[in-house]
Structure 1
Amino acid sequence: MTARTIKAKHSAHRDDISDLITRRPVPNRGLDQVDPFLFLNHHGPQLYKAGNNGLPFGPHPHRGFETVTFILEGSLAHMDTGGHESVIHAGGVQWMTAGSGLIHAELSPPEFKRDGGDMEILQLWVNLPPELKMTTPRYTGLQSPDIPSIEADGGAKLHLVSGAFDGKSGPVVSLTGVMMSMVDLPPGGKITLPAPKGRNVFFYVVRGAVSLGDTRAEKFELVEFSDDGDAIEVSAPDGGYLLYGHADPIGAPVVAHGPFVMNTEAEIRQAIVDYQAGKFNREPVNT
């Protein structure tokens, strides 16, 4: 296996939403996307006091892509107009295909607002190719025990959400063959991550710091790789936690307007018309 070289590192910029600590590594200055990975918000980590208002993500629409939400600390209640509803706790993941259009809400459960506690959440937007933009919406909610935890030879653990690693498959079958995982490296841990030729890699340091050969990547940094190898070798002298995945690039035009991601301005206008006409309202969202 040949290790890929680093093309660039990108620090997440701070962009708080009300009292919610938020950092965004992509899009960022100098990096529009890591095709097909469009957007990542890193909320927290922070401590909510008892009697808090919880997360501010009330009902809002999406069309043309997928949201993948990682609950690292705390819990998250999901409801959408496709009739999907769940409360996912720490270590779990929500994978929602907005496709032709959904309205969803992502809120703190009543117990969290009452009691407070630690909260840290990642939300990644994954683009869909033109032929799947209007696919039927779907949703998968996974609790921590639903996600395989695979121990590597170097002591790291890879929590496999979708795709394959070390002969095992993740519980989500991605429409576009996305491999997505979380990687936990203890102090002194190391791992060799697959990075198949021709695929783009998503690599974000959530906690701690890691070493990639002679280069160190710190917490809140996204690492961009050249397509010149088929593996990424990672070590963490003091421990680290990563969001890691890879996928085939789509290579299609991206036209985004708020919660809609399509390929043309005309498709964006149609999404707005359809939303205003109530075509996303398959079933009511309860808040």
Structure 2
Amino acid sequence: MRSIKQVHKAEYRPIADLITYSPMPTASIQMIDPFLFLNHHGPQQYPPNNNGLPFGPHPHRGMETVTFILDGDIAHKDSGGHKSVIGSGGVQWMTAGSGLLHAEVSSEKFKKEGGDLEILQLWLNLPAKYKMTDPRYLGFQKDQIPTISLDDGRVTGQVVSGSLEETAGAFNTFTDINLATLNFEESAKITLNIPEDHNIFFYVIKGKFEVNGEQVKALHLAEFDNNGEELEIEAKAESVLLFGHAKPFEEPVVARGPFVMNTMEEIDEAYADFQTGKMGAWKE
């Protein structure tokens, strides 16, 4: 059985009127290679005639964003010409690669009518060989994402990338990163076997778990040692889990603002390229 190295509490970092918890990076953990960053927005209810999400046009390079729309919606637009509105239960996967501008805001319908909102955004590193790849974007609605049922249906979820218990994920990715969201009924229990050389990403969105004998509750991230393969996960309440695992890249990581590269020189180049328009132009 794998042991838990440390459990990290998400820090509360509201953005304007958007409730936001940040499990990583915090004062206690910088990253779990190749998982870089997670923001948990909501849950909250927006009134009618609201301003929606505040993430207007901004650049990225050298990394990927995976956005899980648990409730509400996101209207995506980028300088590569991609546009979409993804609703509750959908997922977006954007590979920034060599660089692009994008915005993630709420749809006109959501801003007019309001409603419940809860969103996770996870940043994933790209290895050096893919950092300058061409940008790409895919957004899938809930019914386009493969589902999984375990423990006689008491655990259900979506397989987003890689695979889980022989179910292949929705997104084909540059790297072998496995991601899923799992919903547990109270007392539901599963056992997973994860390669010992893979790092595990285990964030509790809601509820409480006992994992290999240790408690991990909502808004906490569990960091594991690489000393075994088996995970016994039991829900102590109705619970929701963001679960991932991947082999670490073991490369230098230099992150400044929206850019994640291997050296400071590459960061300087990213800022210069952004300022001179090499990451594309924004058209309203």
Q: TM-score range by the shorter chain?
A: over 0.9
Range with bigger deviation, 110-119 or 162-171 = 162-171
Deviations 1:49-69 (A, max 9, x none): 111111000000000000000
Task: Name the counterpart of 1:180.
Answer: 179
Q: 2:184 is aligned with what amino acid?
A: L
* Aligned structure 1 segments of 4 or more residues deviating by more than 3 angstroms: 283-286
Counterparts of residues 141-220 of structure 1 (less than 5 Å): 141-153=139-151, 155-220=154-219
Instruction: Check the 8 A contact 2:151/2:188 in 1, yes or no.
Output: no
Task: Name the counterpart of 1:273.
Answer: 272
Range with bigger deviation, 11-20 or 223-232 = 223-232
Q: Hey, what's the Cα distance between the residues in 1 that align with 2:212 and 2:232?
A: 7
Q: Hey, what's the Cα distance between the residues in 1 that align with 2:199 and 2:282?
A: 37
- SS of 2:207's partner is strand
Q: Hey, what's the Cα distance between the residues in 1 that align with 2:241 and 2:213?
A: 18
Instruction: Check the 8 A contact 2:57/2:282 in 1, yes or no.
Output: no
Task: Name the counterpart of 1:121.
Answer: 119
Deviation at 1:285, TM superposition (A): 4.2
Deviation at 1:10, TM superposition (A): 0.1
Q: Hey, what's the Cα distance between the residues in 2 that align with 1:88 and 1:216?
A: 34
Name the TM-score, length of structure 2 as normaliser: 0.97
1:12 aligns with 2:22: no
Name the TM-score, length of structure 1 as normaliser: 0.96
Deviation at 1:261, TM superposition (A): 0.6
Q: Hey, what's the Cα distance between the residues in 2 that align with 1:271 and 1:237?
A: 46
Range with bigger deviation, 28-37 or 147-156 = 147-156
Task: Name the counterpart of 1:76.
Answer: 74
Q: 1:229 is aligned with what amino acid?
A: G
Task: Name the counterpart of 1:247.
Answer: 246
- SS of 2:273's partner is helix
Q: Hey, what's the Cα distance between the residues in 2 that align with 1:285 and 1:185?
A: 43
Q: Hey, what's the Cα distance between the residues in 2 that align with 1:56 and 1:258?
A: 17
Instruction: Check the 8 A contact 2:2/2:212 in 1, yes or no.
Output: no
Task: Name the counterpart of 1:225.
Answer: 224
Q: Hey, what's the Cα distance between the residues in 2 that align with 1:284 and 1:193?
A: 44
Q: Hey, what's the Cα distance between the residues in 2 that align with 1:238 and 1:260?
A: 38
Q: 2:185 is aligned with what amino acid?
A: P
Aligned-residue identity in percent = 51
- SS of 1:270's partner is helix
Instruction: Check the 8 A contact 1:62/1:259 in 2, yes or no.
Output: yes
Q: Hey, what's the Cα distance between the residues in 2 that align with 1:85 and 1:19?
A: 25
Instruction: Check the 8 A contact 2:94/2:137 in 1, yes or no.
Output: yes
Gaps of 5+ in 2: none
Task: Name the counterpart of 1:67.
Answer: 65
Task: Name the counterpart of 1:21.
Answer: 19
Deviation at 1:147, TM superposition (A): 1.0
Gaps of 5+ in 1: none
Deviation at 1:82, TM superposition (A): 1.0
Deviations 1:120-176 (A, max 9, x none): 000000001111110111111011111111101352113100111222211201111
Q: CA RMSD in A?
A: 1.1
Q: Hey, what's the Cα distance between the residues in 2 that align with 1:78 and 1:107?
A: 7
Task: Name the counterpart of 1:93.
Answer: 91
- SS of 1:120's partner is strand
Deviation at 1:193, TM superposition (A): 2.7
Deviation at 1:182, TM superposition (A): 0.2
- SS of 1:179's partner is strand
Q: Hey, what's the Cα distance between the residues in 2 that align with 1:102 and 1:146?
A: 26
Q: 1:46 is aligned with what amino acid?
A: Q
